[in-house]
Amino acid sequence: MAEMIKKVVIAAAGYGTRMLHLATNKPKHLINIRERPFLYYLLSNLKEAGLEEMILVVGYKKGAMEEFRRRYKKEFPLLLVDQFAIAGKEKYGTAIPLQCVKEIVGQENFLMVFGDNLYSPQDINFLRVDDNYHYISVIENPHPEKYGAVITNGEFLVKLVEKPKTFVSNFINTGLHKFTPEIFEAADKITPSLNGEYVLTDAIHLLAQNRRVKVKQISDYWLDFGNPGDIFKMWKFLERNKKIFEHQ
């Protein structure tokens, strides 16, 4: 049996501006749902999936994240990395967390998720493919125009199209990735977008050009926690599935 991936990078440095006033005093990842921070549920599922080394990339309201780590230190093996201290506050985008963990990850394969998404342990485990390819996870969605639509050629990724204006695919990128250390070299090659953002999908596209990225369809659930309306949706989901989460 192949060795399974143990490391996961969780990107959670952002300001959470879409959460409006709810993220004024703390990162959106720490907004409570059923008396526990949202981040707790994500980390619980990562742990249940077998991820033993958790690298949490923080920035905005770092002190609140440090307090979270102290509060749950017996449950989660968290290593905090300060993105603002390493990359600065002016350099931003979904690829920046990678630049901050390069030395820590080293030559190991790893998973990467965003700290404002929730996946099932089964789907997380499904991405723990310890081979030489990169993987992105996709799910079928009736409104791909709201997300990043995925174009494939067989099992390989061709392109990710952000909020497509014309139909390209019913499958969208969920932000659950498996990477090899090759991703760091790709991330170093990308340039900022028109709005100054270093975008992770640009690095993924560089690898996809050489058929280095495969696509896996997850089958359980994916929930985004980005704006105030998502709080009630998350509460309803956890309430409906409280038998699953009651041990957490």
Residue 139: beta bridge partners? 172
What pLDDT is recorded for position 130? 92
> Amino acid letter at 178?
K
Query: Per the domain annotation, does 116 fall within a domain?
Result: yes
Q: Cα Rg for the chain, rounded, in angstroms?
A: 17
Query: Per the domain annotation, does 229 fall within a domain?
Result: yes
Residue 172: beta bridge partners? 139, 149
Q: What is the mean pLDDT of the chain?
A: 94
Query: Per the domain annotation, does 34 fall within a domain?
Result: yes
Q: Cα 190 to the chain's mean position, in Å?
A: 19
pLDDT tens, residue by residue, 52-94: 999 999 999 999 999 999 999 999 999 999 999 999 999 999 9
pLDDT tens, residue by residue, 55-64: 999 999 999 9
Tally of domains in the chain: 1
Answer whether residue 248 shows pLDDT above 70: no
Residue found by looking up tokens 């170093």 in the block: 188
Query: Per the domain annotation, does 142 fall within a domain?
Result: no
What pLDDT is recorded for position 35? 87
Answer whether residue 247 shows pLDDT above 70: no
CATH of the domain at 45: 3.90.550.10
User: Using 50, 70 and 90 to split pLDDT, how confident is the model at 116?
Assistant: very high
Q: Which two tokens stand for residue 79?
A: 């290593």
pLDDT tens, residue by residue, 165-216: 999 999 999 999 999 999 999 999 999 998 899 999 999 999 999 999 999 9
Query: Per the domain annotation, does 169 fall within a domain?
Result: no
Q: How many Å apart are CA 169 and CA 69, to the nearest integer? A: 39
pLDDT tens, residue by residue, 9-49: 999 999 998 998 889 999 999 999 988 999 999 999 999 99
Range of the domain at 100: 7-136+174-196+209-242
Give the Å distances, CA to CA, from 43 to 172, 185, 212. Answer: 23, 28, 28
Query: Per the domain annotation, does 167 fall within a domain?
Result: no
- The share of the chain scoring above pLDDT 70, in percent, equals 97
Q: Cα 120 to the chain's mean position, in Å?
A: 13
Q: Is 166 exposed, middle or buried (0-12, 13-18, 19+ CB in 10 A)?
A: exposed
What pLDDT is recorded for position 220? 94
What pLDDT is recorded for position 49? 95
What are the DSSP calls for 30-44, one per residue? G-EETTEEHHHHHHH
Instruction: Give SS3 for 243.
Output: helix
Residue 56, C-beta contacts closer than 8 angstroms, at least 6 positions apart? 10, 12, 65, 69, 78, 79, 80, 81, 115
Query: Per the domain annotation, does 203 fall within a domain?
Result: no
Answer whether residue 1 shows pLDDT above 50: no
Query: Per the domain annotation, does 144 fall within a domain?
Result: no
Instruction: Give SS3 for 205.
Output: helix
